[in-house]
């Protein structure tokens, strides 16, 4: 049945691309996609609705744990609707005792939990030059959630993996689009047996949502999201690395630096595994105009297999660095939120943050270009203008009843700001009389048409 569909679709692809809408393709899509915006925050950056690819907005980097509705989504194929009644996980391949197990029985194994950061291998691809095809992720192809499930090692032990086993292959319930290859990936046995490598059924204390892999997804702490296979239905022990498209061709990274824009011999490429030390500045925003005084610089940082050691902040474009305070403690696989209190004086600044891992590896200042645009971790620069205005009055008078966001959205003229301040003062805003004029000046400089 399915192979017929596949053939049909293949011949359709042969026709003019714009005709790719009709009947069965549409009904197949309707079967496979499910509700498009299930559990997704409206503030997410949408790269694609079908299949679903959503990026976390910058404010997500201020949270120690990423709420599920802000957590990035990367799907090569449509989200399958898995029927739990009929779902089971097959464990086979190079094993003495292949078996199938339902989610209910799987949950009888010892439960484990960890907070882990998952970053898409292609996160930051949109920053590479020359440009590359693929989703143009900026910063938010990453998230940090609390995962709960069982050890992959426990599931493999029951199957009695043969000594010949080198890799473990994972297969999801998703169905390949058109004649594209299935999304299947393998990881080396050593990583598979790591006590923190998990088959997760919960994310942030709730069952996984369909876009995040319901009912079961692989958690490979420290490694790129390409290994965190969703919608698991099959696990196979292999006597070699899997040789399907998503291992052999996609998700590979040059073993040595390469000249930007050149083609690379596949023999010089290895699979993406660990992600690298990286930090993102969530506040202030690029091109912000801020009042002088104490300013909070904050964001999140992580590294892969090697734990994060420190985050430093520079406000002079990388000439001098100061240690930022790490503000979360969710274990070695989690990202760390960080904070730095800056005494901003008037002028133009280039703010940077730099993560360093326990091996002493720090984020680079130059891109390490590679043909698929993976593992971007160049130090981010945020340009800000500090104005000599009375930020303190503004803060005290204007951000007590509401946040700055309601003000930031305004683009008003000076006389409109005069009326606005008068209105707020009638409503209870306390503005010292001798500072009213400079406050209006401040507002009409920062938030103008
Ligand atoms: C006593 C509480 C309070 C203080 C203090 C206050 N505001 Fe407001 N402001 C409000 C409320 C309430 C709203 C929302 C009104 C609504 O949504 O209907 C608001 C809304 C706004 C808006 C949105 C546009 C509008 O008119 O609804 C702007 C802009 C604004 N405030 C600016 C300021 C500025 C500038 C200051 C400092 C001078 C300030 N506010 C201080 C209560 C306050």
Give percent of the chain with pLDDT exceeding 70.
Answer: 91
Q: Which of 402, 416, 436, 447 to mutate to test the pocket of ligand 1 (most atoms within 8 A of CB)?
A: 402
**305-349 residue pLDDT tens:** 999 999 999 999 999 999 999 999 999 999 999 999 999 988 889
Residue 174: C-alpha distances to residues 81, 177, 205, 286, 422 (Å): 9, 9, 24, 38, 58
In this structure, what token pair is assigned to residue 362? 């720090």
Nearest to 32, CA basis, from 243, 166, 178, 163: 178
pLDDT per residue as tens digits for the range 363-377: 999 999 999 999 999
pLDDT at 347: 85
Token reading at 138 = 């900026």
| HSE-CB of 308 using CA atoms within 13 angstroms | 32
- Cis link prior to 215 (omega < 30° from 0)? yes
Mean pLDDT lowest for which of 200-214, 218-232, 293-307, 388-402?
388-402
User: In this prediction, what percent of the chain has a pLDDT beyond 90?
Assistant: 76
175 alpha carbon, distance to own chain's centre: 23
CA 132/CA 48 separation, integer angstroms: 17
Tokens 């951000």 belong to which residue? 399
Say yes or no to pLDDT of 21 above 80.
Answer: no
Q: What is the pLDDT of residues 252-295, one digit of tens each?
A: 989 888 999 888 887 899 999 999 999 999 999 999 988 888 99
Euclidean distance between CA atoms 393 and 431, whole angstroms:
7
Contact present, 47 and 73 (Cβ < 8 Å): no
Cα–ligand 1 centroid distance for 402 (angstroms): 7
> If phi over 0 gives left and psi between -120 and 50 gives alpha, with beta otherwise, what is residue 222?
left
pLDDT on residue 31:
38
Is 192 near ligand 1, meaning CB less than 6 Å away? no
Q: What CA–CA distance (Å, rounded) separates 139 from 378?
A: 11
Q: Which of 291, 395, 424, 439 to mutate to test the pocket of ligand 1 (most atoms within 8 A of CB)?
A: 424
Burial of 292: CB neighbours in 10 Å, binned 0-12, 13-18, 19+:
middle
Residue indicated by tokens 């790490």: 326
Banded pLDDT at 38 (limits 50, 70, 90): low
Count CB neighbours of 71 within 10 A.
26
Is the CB of 398 within 6 Å of ligand 1?
A: yes
Distance CA(77)–CA(176), nearest Å, equals 6
Higher-confidence position of 261 and 356: 356
| Whether residue 402 has its Cβ less than 6 Å from ligand 1 | yes
Taking only the tens place, the pLDDT of each residue in 176-190 is 999 999 999 999 999
């Amino acid at each position: 049945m399915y192979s017929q569909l596949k053939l049909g679709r293949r011949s359709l692809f042969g026709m003019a691309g714009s005709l790719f809408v009709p009947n069965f393709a549409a009904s197949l899509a309707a079967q496979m996609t499910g509700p498009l915006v299930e559990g997704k925050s409206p503030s997410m950056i949408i790269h694609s609705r079908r299949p679903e690819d959503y990026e976390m907005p910058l404010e997500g980097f201020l949270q120690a744990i990423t709420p599920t509705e802000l957590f990035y989504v990367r799907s090569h194929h449509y989200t399958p609707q898995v029927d739990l009644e009929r779902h089971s996980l097959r464990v086979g391949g190079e094993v003495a005792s292949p078996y199938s197990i339902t989610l209910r029985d799987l949950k009888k194994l010892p439960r484990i939990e960890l907070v882990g950061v998952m970053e898409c291998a292609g996160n930051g691809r949109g920053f590479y030059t020359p440009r590359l095809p693929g989703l143009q992720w900026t910063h938010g192809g990453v998230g940090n959630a609390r995962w709960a499930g069982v050890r992959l090692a426990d599931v493999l032990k029951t199957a009695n993996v043969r000594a010949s086993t080198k890799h473990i292959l994972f297969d999801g319930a998703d169905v390949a689009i058109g004649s594209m290859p299935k999304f299947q990936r393998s990881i080396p046995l050593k990583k598979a047996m790591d006590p923190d490598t998990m088959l997760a059924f919960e994310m942030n204390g709730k069952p996984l949502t369909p876009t995040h892999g319901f009912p079961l997804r692989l958690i490979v702490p420290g490694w790129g999201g390409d290994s965190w296979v969703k919608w698991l239905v099959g696990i196979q022990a292999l006597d070699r690395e899997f040789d399907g498209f998503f291992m052999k061709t996609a998700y590979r990274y040059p073993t040595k630096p390469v000249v930007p824009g050149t083609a690379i011999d596949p023999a010089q490429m290895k699979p993406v595994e660990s992600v690298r030390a990286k930090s993102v500045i969530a506040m202030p925003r690029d091109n912000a105009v801020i009042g002088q005084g104490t300013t909070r610089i904050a964001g999140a940082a992580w590294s892969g297999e090697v734990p994060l050691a420190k985050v430093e902040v520079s406000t002079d474009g990388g000439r001098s660095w100061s240690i930022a305070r790490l503000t979360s403690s969710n274990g070695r696989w989690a990202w760390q939120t960080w904070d730095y209190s800056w005494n901003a004086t008037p002028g133009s600044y280039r703010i940077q943050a730099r993560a360093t891992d326990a091996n002493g590896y720090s984020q680079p200042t130059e891109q390490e270009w590679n043909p698929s645009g993976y593992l971007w971790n160049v130090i981010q620069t945020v340009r800000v203008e500090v104005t000599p205005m009375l930020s303190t009055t503004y803060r005290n008078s204007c951000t007590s009843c509401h946040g700055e966001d309601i003000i930031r959205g305004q683009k008003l003229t000076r006389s409109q700001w005069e009326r606005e301040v008068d209105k707020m003062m009638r409503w209870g805003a306390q503005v010292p009389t001798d500072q009213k004029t400079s406050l209006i000046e401040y507002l009409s400089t920062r938030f103008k048409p």
